[in-house]
A = this chain, B = another copy of it.
Amino acid sequence: MKGIITGGIVIFCSVMAGAQTNDTLMIRNIADEILKNSAAYENLRVLTKQIGPRLAGSAGMVKSESWGYELLKKTGADTVWMQECLVPYWVRGGKDEVIVQSGEIKKNLAVIALGNSTGSGAKGVTADIIEVASFDELEAKKDLVKGKIVFFNYHFKRSFVHTFRGYGDAVKYRGQGPSTASKYGAVGVMIRSISHGENNVPHTGSTRYDSNYAKIPAVAIGLQDADWLSAALKEKKMDATIKTYGYFKPDTTGHNIIAEWRGSTHPEEIITVGGHLDSWDNCEGAHDDGAGCVQTIEILRAFKAIGYKPKRTIRFVLFANEENGLRGGLKYAEAAKQKNEKHLFALESDAGGFTPRGFGFSASAEVLAKVKTWEPLLSLYGTAVYPGGGGADIGPLHRELGTPMAGLDPDSQRYFDYHHAANDVFEAVNRRELELGAVNMAALIYLVDQYGL
């Protein structure tokens, strides 16, 4: 083909070059706006330091909803509304404690009750500890479990490069550990925290009881104390007293906070971008998922600041109750289905405010191929495009309406140092990393808005 260029190809190339150039300039413009003038970091400071924990049902939830509503209005959306949904209302109820002892030894472990778990009450549950490394070992020792406290000491695998694969591998012990042990007559469960961190901070997160078995108290132990306990149990038998106070209040009303910016030429086509507003009760929820919320709001702020006019309708959504119910995401999809809305695309940031590495897509091969052509534009800001990904809150939209979805995939190495733990605080978020996430999200939303999917 060297030297042979037809007129048609010349026109095609110059049109393409024009589009690339405009897009390159527009995305550079977006990036400059965010990296120089972002409000994301200061918004995160307010959300984490002035509001703090905001588990579904709590006073923090209510405060955070007002904050999100006012901030999205101020930032300039056409319409902001609060979409009601019933949310579960789990309460920790007191200070979780585990005391282990054997003869002279008596030690308080760093623990936290698993989310949604049942309380032992102040009397506590006392029993001998039986340690197992896995469900397989539990199965092999099932005849020894009755009346005992089971200690699941499953190690988060360090060899996965992407830490979410290690999480996916280990988190079943949090979700299913309590009922699996209860099936064989255990009276309590302690799990090694689902983390590979270097500290002793325990990590909560929701557990799911199987209604066929008794609900038993369940806690997560800090990694250093889990190691200490495992070593101690090799020396001698020990018993533990677990004291937890968790219980459910009746379901209450929570809200998705939805800001809409109507499109100029295809207003009927909706692009959703969001994060979840709730957090666990033991932390500021800075990475999980304050980051995703302030990045979402930042995209609106930056678009407004540079005078962008979207072709399609963009919705900026702060979802309710991701952590222990997903009621916000379910409600959003249900309403979209009822109203027969046309949802073009949904994007979520819920993997921490770290340097972005890519976008994982759950979409058809055709859609993915189209998005792949944008990779050269995105890669200037650090992101690639690949299959597999999305977000818990936009998952129902994807499943119910077939909406293509993507998740921002930040560098994952530090996420499980903080996940669901008391150290997930504002200070753990780096301003530039947070902002670069918003830059890449805004760039992707811009491209989808311009060219559809």
Partner-B contacts on A (CB < 8 A) = 31-32, 35-36, 41, 158-159, 161, 163, 196, 198, 355, 357, 380-382, 411, 413-414, 417, 430-433, 436
Known: A36-B158, A355-B355, A413-B436; 20 extra A-B contacts, CB below 8 A, are: A31-B159, A32-B159, A35-B159, A36-B159, A158-B432, A161-B380, A161-B381, A161-B382, A163-B432, A196-B432, A198-B431, A355-B413, A411-B411, A413-B430, A413-B432, A413-B433, A414-B430, A414-B432, A414-B433, A417-B430
Give the nearest-CB partner of A431 in chain B. Answer: B198
Give the nearest-CB partner of A435 in chain B. Answer: B158
B35–A436 touching, CB < 8 Å: no
* CA distance in complex: A355, B382 (Å): 13
A161–B436 touching, CB < 8 Å: yes
Residues of B close to A159: CB separation below 8 A: 31-32, 35-36
Give the nearest-CB partner of A32 in chain B. Answer: B159
Give the nearest-CB partner of A163 in chain B. Answer: B432
Between-chain CB contacts (< 8 Å), 9 pairs: A31-B161, A32-B159, A35-B159, A36-B158, A161-B380, A198-B431, A355-B411, A355-B413, A413-B432
Residues of B close to A432: CB separation below 8 A: 158, 163, 196, 413-414
Which 5 residue pairs spanning A and B have beta carbons closest together? A413-B432, A35-B158, A413-B433, A355-B411, A35-B159
* CA distance in complex: A197, B45 (Å): 16
Name which of A31, A382, A413, A417 has the most chain B CB atoms within 10 A of its CB. Answer: A413
* CA distance in complex: A417, B433 (Å): 12
Residues of B close to A433: CB separation below 8 A: 413-414
Give the nearest-CB partner of A197 in chain B. Answer: B431
Residues of B close to A382: CB separation below 8 A: 161, 357
* CA distance in complex: A159, B380 (Å): 12
Give, as a whole number of angstroms, the nearest-CB distance from A445 to chain B: 18
* CA distance in complex: A196, B32 (Å): 15
Give, as a whole number of angstroms, the nearest-CB distance from A294 to chain B: 15
Give the nearest-CB partner of A432 in chain B. Answer: B413
Give the nearest-CB partner of A162 in chain B. Answer: B382
Give, as a whole number of angstroms, the nearest-CB distance from A155 to chain B: 10
Residues of B close to A36: CB separation below 8 A: 158-159
Residues of B close to A35: CB separation below 8 A: 158-159, 161
* CA distance in complex: A31, B161 (Å): 9
Give the nearest-CB partner of A417 in chain B. Answer: B430
* CA distance in complex: A159, B381 (Å): 11
Give, as a whole number of angstroms, the nearest-CB distance from A421 to chain B: 15
Give, as a whole number of angstroms, the nearest-CB distance from A284 to chain B: 17
Residues of B close to A32: CB separation below 8 A: 159
